[in-house]
Chain A
Amino acid sequence: MKYVIMFTTTPELDAAVSPEHAEQVYRRTYDWFGTHSEVMTESGAQLQPVTTATTVSYGGDAPVVADGPFSEAKEVIGGFQVIDVPDLDAAIAVVKTWPLLELPGVSVEIRPIIVY
């Protein structure tokens, strides 16, 4: 089964982590992609910071364009990756080893992809 995993962080909690610690954790994310290369598909991307986001929303007569992310949530999406694994337990097992999960405010959402 294919799942999208969405990596999120909470910017207001990032400040609590020392730059050295953050750098060391981020470096390990490269190894993580290598370790799990077998389940990684071609699809995936790391995103520019949320300050670069633009949102187009429903606006009655015409869509409205505005600065910022679509939700007011404290968490922001930092990237996503499509993985191909046998079932949800396998997806959870891969995600649990995501190095950033040792930082507060970090979560990873797992969503199955619809197959037609």
Chain B
Amino acid sequence: MNETDAAAAESGRSKAAASDQLLARTIREESARIVSALTGWLGSLDLAEESVAEAIEEAVRQWRTRGVPPNPGGWLTQAARHNAIDRLRREKRYREKLALLTDPLEAAPLIVAGEPDERLPLLFGCCHPALSPDAQLALTLRAICGLTTAQIARATLAPESTVAQRIVRAKRKIGAAGIPLRIPEGSERAERLNIVLTVISVMYSEAHLVAGGDAAADRDLADDALWLARVVAHELPREAEAQAQGLLALLLFHRAREGARAVDGELVLLADQDRARWDRGLIDEAQAVLETAAMLRRPGRWQLHAAIAACHSDTRDGSHTDWLQVLTLYDMLLAYDYSPIVRLNRTVALAEVDGPQAALDEVDVLRRTLTGYHLWHAVRARMLRHLGRRDEAMAEDLCALELTANDAERRLLEARVDR
């Protein structure tokens, strides 16, 4: 192949990639609405979701070559309905079942009046605590974001058969155990929203810490997570939205820094990031969202995470960070989230305010819970280095290196050990 051919092939590839992005966006906008409507029509999430997933696979194949039709939602709905009827035909007693179906246009909507977006009851059902966290994530990616099983498998680094089984089991459980697809009321609502937001945040971070992958790869899940955070933040009733806005702000801050976080597949620590590479537009948006959330006067876990991210985005370079404010925010965060990871992250701010010895003492308290976590060793190494205990620091960095599965993080740690 000569150079012109290679360039043509390259541009052909990039066009296909662009249209894949368009496909992903189109499908994402339609998927949950169709699953939701079909579930109401068929009375079975399992059947509805399977039929929509099949329609999405057909759409990806056809649209890639023929382009997206003028009414993609209508196309997908028709295809999914055909698939559902085909599936019912294969079952015994299909005539009885078909007779029970009303015309989808006349079918009672699944949504209860007053709920603004029909995707949310489905999303809140997919994130039911009676489903395992893995299943919540996989089902949300499929039923809400419209990812194929193969895409989920690649993004979450699980074998495709495992993902497929997880989704089937979760859907069957929703049907068999009577898990309602709705936004719960009362005190359950806040608890469930927290699971929904956790799933979205995991979706975002899965895209960044792909074992064996490069830091710049797999941006898709992050994009899906950001999209879903927007849907939830915008469509949720006002009294519940403070936390959702908090998560949206947090993800926007992370997204804004992404260009500086990974340079040529290498991870760059926050303190060393070239701030000119930060996306100012996204940071401004994140700050605006965070201010909206703060005005609701309902502080919580996600807002505090976002407020900490905001502190890091305020300054021109790492040396001007207001660490006392960061530490204060971490102390407030502990009231909502006393997880070992948050406590570990807090030690970094503590080191800046009270010095490395105080921070090291805190890090050591977490030894038993976090000894298998590579970043615990990396943080401990950092404190030891600040205290001039270089040999011990080196040993901790080696531990961290051994424990990390991500290529980019591994190279970052290797660079430290070499130093």
Contact = CB atoms under 8 A, between A and B. Distances in A.
Interface of A: 1, 3, 86-89, 91-93, 110, 112
B178 interface: yes
B176 A112 contact: yes
B184 interface: yes
Residue of A86, A88, A110 ringed by the most chain B CB atoms within 10 A: A88
Nearest to A89: B180
24 contacts: A1-B178, A3-B178, A86-B178, A86-B180, A87-B178, A87-B179, A87-B180, A88-B128, A88-B130, A88-B177, A88-B178, A88-B179, A88-B180, A89-B179, A89-B180, A89-B184, A89-B188, A91-B178, A92-B130, A93-B188, A110-B177, A112-B176, A112-B177, A112-B178
Contacts of A3: 178
Closest 5 CB pairs of A and B: A87-B180, A87-B178, A1-B178, A88-B178, A88-B179
Q: Is the interface of B mostly helix, strand, loop or mixed?
A: loop
Contacts of B128: 88
A89 to B, nearest CB: 5
Contacts of B176: 112
Nearest to A2: B178
A15 B155 CA distance: 48
A110 B178 CA distance: 11
Given A87-B178, A88-B177, A91-B178, 11 more contacts: A1-B178, A86-B180, A87-B179, A88-B128, A88-B130, A88-B179, A88-B180, A89-B184, A89-B188, A92-B130, A112-B177
B253 to A, nearest CB: 34
Interface in B108-149: 128, 130
A95 to B, nearest CB: 12
A104 to B, nearest CB: 20
